[in-house]
Amino acid sequence: MFENLILGLDVATMPVNLGMALIGAAIGTAIGVLPGLGPVATISILMPVTFQLAPASAIIMLCGIYLGAMYGGSITSILVNVPGESASVVTCLDGHQMAKNGRAGAALGIAAFGSFIGGILATIGLLLLAPAIPQLTRGFGPPEYAMLVLAGLLLVTQVGTSGTIRSLIMAFAGLMLATVGTDPISGEQRFTFGFTFLYDGIGIVPLAIGLFGVAELLSLALGRNETQKLQYEKLKVRELLPSRAEWRRSAPAIGRGSVIGFLLGLLPGAGMSLVSFVAYTIEKALSRRPAEFGRGAIEGVAGPETANNAGSQAAFAPMLTLGLPSSPTMGVIMGALMIHGVAVGPQLITRNPDVFWGVIASMLISNLILIVLNVPLISIFVRLLKVPSSLLVPLIMLFVVVGAYTIDNQIEDVWMTLLFGVVGFLLRRCGFDPAPMVLAYVLGGIFERSLRQSLILGDGVGIFLERPVSAVLMLVCVAMVLVVLVRTVLRFRSGAALVQEADQT
Name the residues that contact another protein, by CB under 8 A: 52, 165-166, 168-169, 172-173, 175-176, 179, 183, 185-186, 188, 190-191, 214, 217-218, 221-225, 390-391, 393-395, 397-399, 401-402, 405-406, 409, 411, 414-415, 418-419, 421-422, 426-427, 430-432, 447-448, 451-452, 455-456, 459-460, 488, 491-492, 495-496, 498-499, 501-502
Judged by beta carbon, residue 168 or residue 202, the one nearer another protein is 168
Rounded to a whole number of angstroms, the minimum distance from the CB of residue 152 to another protein is 16
Q: Smallest distance, Å, CB 422 to another protein? A: 7
Position 379, amino acid: S
Q: How far is the CB of 324 from another protein (least distance, A)?
A: 18
38: left (phi over 0), alpha (psi -120 to 50) or beta: beta
State the nearest-atom distance from the C-beta of 190 to another protein, in Å: 6
Exposure of 133 by Cβ count < 10 A (0-12 exposed, 13-18 middle, 19+ buried)? middle
Q: How far is the CB of 225 from another protein (least distance, A)?
A: 7
In the bound state with another protein, the residue whose beta carbon lies nearer, of 172 and 247, is 172
* Closest separation in Å from C-beta 430 to another protein: 4
To the nearest 5 percent, what fractions of the chain are helix, strand and coil?
75, 0, 20
Bridge partners (DSSP) of residue 189 are: 182
Smallest gap from residue 39 Cβ to another protein (A): 23
Q: Which is closer to another protein, CB of 253 or CB of 480?
A: 480
Asked if 1 and 346 count as a contact pair (C-beta separation under 8 A), the reply is no
For another protein, the closer of residues 3 and 503 by Cβ is 503
Least Cα distance to 397 among 382, 376, 414, 413 occurs for 414
Amino acid 267 reads L
Coil vs helix vs strand at 32: helix
Instruction: Compare residues 74 and 417 and give the one whose CB is closer to another protein.
Output: 417
Q: Which is nearer to another protein, 262 or 420 (CB)?
A: 420
Closest to 74 in 3D by CA, of 66, 61, 85, 65 = 85
Report the alpha-carbon distance of residue 208 to residue 200 in Å, rounded: 16
Nearer to another protein among residue 350 and residue 494 (C-beta): 494
**Residue 45 CB partners (closer than 8 Å, separation 6+):** 31, 37, 209, 212, 213, 396, 399, 400, 403
* Helices and strands, number each (H, E), in the chain: 23, 2
